[in-house]
């Protein structure tokens, strides 16, 4: 933009001055314009610098051949050229102003003015561009995070739906199994007894009555079984949650040579499926970390406590701990998972190594 204004200015002065070398002047100008347009199409640094050098040379030739006013185009080309090779701002500025000592006196003032303006505009432009790039990057990053979070929400949703489906499926299997095992057998038994009693009805009345009584007994039992089956319909989430955690820990103990103990306290029913999911993942992560880093530990204690408004899960080993540790992907993952439930993770290495997950309970 500033280049265009400059060229326009030069053209005007050139025309007003009614310089003798009009044709040369226009030729140089056109050359300069086409060179500078081409530069924007190029990518390689060396070629760009080459083009810029050529355009500097053209300006120089134009100064000598056509009109000294062409020197006004110099500062910008020098700035652009220097900027390609150095990050410091002072060097290009010095270079851009330096031609002032070599030109005619009457042009010096105008040259200085143009040079300073060019430098100012150029610097601002550069600054804005950097800012723009930075903003763009941040926007990108935010978009990414946003997408990740949306995905996470979606995943949570799917998990909930899936686990609900799993529950239903398990329930259906259990009920059909139970109906087959208890109720089916009872009804079949009762049926046989009743058939027999029908046959005996006219032969041995007493025997028939006894058989019928048996059938009544079996049917009653069957009804009781149905009642029990329906009553046991729901396995409480507590069973699923803490039992799964137990399973994880048992598996871990079986594979590794570390004594791992699970203790729990409080009303475990209050922890929902999501929270169990986080607890299980964090516990697994913490156990893995212990295996990786706390080689000298022999015992790991996993403690789940349900407090009034939050649930606390602590995984602690009896190793040497670590005063300083780098936060790896594992810990960051635990933090992210907990944060998604509004919780916190405390990692402490002062006395053994412990990872504590705190999750707020949903108020009912």
> Is residue 78 helix, strand or coil?
helix
Pick from 140, 161, 90, 111: which is nearest to 9 by CA?
Answer: 111
Binding span for another protein by CB under 8 A among 223-231, 236-244, 281-289, 343-351: 343-351
CB of 225 to another protein, least distance (A): 37
Q: Closer CB to another protein, residue 104 or residue 351?
A: 351
- Over the window 247 to 286, marking each residue x when it contacts another protein by CB under 8 A and - when it does not, the resulting string is ----------------------------------------
Give yes or no for residue 44 binding another protein (CB under 8 A): no
CA distance 216 to 211: 9
**Angle, CA 349 vertex, CA 343 and CA 353 arms, to 5°:** 80
- Over the window 312 to 331, marking each residue x when it contacts another protein by CB under 8 A and - when it does not, the resulting string is x-x-x-------x-xx----
CB of 259 to another protein, least distance (A): 20
Interface pick for another protein out of 310, 318, 320, 333 (rule CB under 8 A): 310
Q: Residue 347 phi/psi, 5° resolution?
A: -110, 125
Interface pick for another protein out of 31, 344, 359, 362 (rule CB under 8 A): 344
CB of 324 to another protein, least distance (A): 6
Binding span for another protein by CB under 8 A among 131-139, 189-197, 249-257, 352-360: 352-360
Binding span for another protein by CB under 8 A among 70-78, 171-179, 244-252, 300-308: 300-308
Q: Hey, which bits of the chain come out as E strands?
A: 259-265, 299-306, 310-317, 344-348, 354-360
Q: Please spell the DSSP secondary structure of 200-261, one letter per residue.
A: HTTT-HHHHHHHHHHHHHHHHHHHHHHHHHHHT-PPPHHHHHHHHHHHHHHHHHHHSSSEEE
Look at the block and give the residue holding tokens 């029913």: 269
Q: Closer CB to another protein, residue 75 or residue 319?
A: 319
Binding span for another protein by CB under 8 A among 49-57, 208-216, 279-287, 304-312: 304-312
Measure the N-to-C terminal CA separation of the chain; round to a whole number of Å.
64
Count residues binding another protein (CB under 8 A). Answer: 20
DSSP annotation of 324: S
Look at the block and give the residue holding tokens 């929902």: 272
Give yes or no for residue 346 binding another protein (CB under 8 A): yes
Q: Closer CB to another protein, residue 184 or residue 266?
A: 266
CB of 77 to another protein, least distance (A): 37
Subset of residues 190 to 229 that bind another protein, contact rule: CB under 8 A:
none
CA distance 300 to 263: 11
CA atoms lying within 13 Å on the CB side of residue 334: 27
Give yes or no for residue 37 binding another protein (CB under 8 A): no
CB of 269 to another protein, least distance (A): 17
- Over the window 111 to 140, marking each residue x when it contacts another protein by CB under 8 A and - when it does not, the resulting string is ------------------------------
Interface pick for another protein out of 7, 11, 200, 347 (rule CB under 8 A): 347
Instruction: Kindly compute the dihedral angle of the four CA atoms of residues 79, 85, 89, 95, in this order, to the nearest 10 degrees.
Output: -50
Binding span for another protein by CB under 8 A among 40-48, 81-89, 93-101, 346-354: 346-354
Task: Evaluate whether 153 touches 274 at the Cβ level (below 8 Å).
Answer: no
Strands in 354-360's sheet, in edge-to-edge order, are 259-265, 299-306, 310-317, 354-360, 344-348
Q: Which residues bind another protein (CB under 8 A)?
A: 305, 307-310, 312, 314, 316, 324, 326-327, 344, 346-348, 350-351, 354, 356, 358
């Amino acid at each position: 933009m500033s280049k265009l204004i400059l060229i326009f200015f030069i053209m005007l002065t050139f025309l007003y001055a009614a310089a003798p070398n009009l044709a040369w002047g226009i030729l140089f100008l056109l050359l300069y314009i086409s060179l500078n347009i081409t530069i924007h199409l190029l990518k390689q640094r060396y070629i760009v610098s080459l083009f810029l050098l050529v355009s500097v040379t053209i300006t120089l030739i134009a100064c000598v051949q056509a009109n000294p006013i062409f020197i006004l185009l110099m500062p910008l080309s020098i700035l652009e050229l220097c900027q390609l090779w150095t990050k410091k701002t002072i060097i290009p500025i010095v270079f851009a102003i330096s031609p002032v000592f070599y030109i005619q006196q009457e042009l010096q003032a105008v040259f200085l003015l143009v040079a300073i303006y060019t430098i100012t505009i150029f610097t601002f432009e550069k600054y804005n561009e950097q800012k723009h790039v930075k903003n763009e990057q941040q926007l990108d990053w935010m978009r990414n995070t946003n997408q990740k979070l949306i995905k996470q929400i979606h995943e949570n949703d799917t998990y909930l739906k899936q686990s609900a489906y799993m529950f239903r499926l398990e329930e259906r299997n259990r009920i059909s199994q139970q109906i087959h095992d208890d109720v089916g057998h009872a009804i079949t038994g009762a049926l046989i007894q009743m058939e027999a009693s029908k046959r005996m009805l006219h032969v041995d009345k007493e025997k028939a009555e006894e058989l019928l009584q048996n059938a009544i007994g079996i049917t009653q039992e069957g009804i009781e079984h149905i009642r029990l089956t329906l009553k046991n319909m729901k396995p409480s989430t507590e069973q699923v949650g803490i039992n799964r955690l137990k399973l994880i820990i048992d598996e871990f103990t079986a594979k590794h040579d570390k004594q791992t103990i699970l203790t729990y306290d409080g009303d475990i029913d209050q922890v929902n499926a999501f929270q169990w999911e986080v607890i299980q993942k964090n516990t697994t992560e913490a156990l893995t970390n212990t295996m990786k880093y706390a080689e000298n530990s022999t015992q790991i204690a996993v403690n789940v406590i349900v407090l009034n408004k939050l649930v606390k899960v602590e995984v602690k080993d009896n190793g040497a701990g670590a005063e300083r540790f780098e936060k790896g992907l594992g810990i960051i993952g635990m933090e992210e998972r907990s944060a998604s439930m509004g919780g916190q993770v405390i990692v402490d290495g002062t006395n053994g190594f412990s990872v504590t997950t705190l999750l707020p309970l949903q108020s009912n």
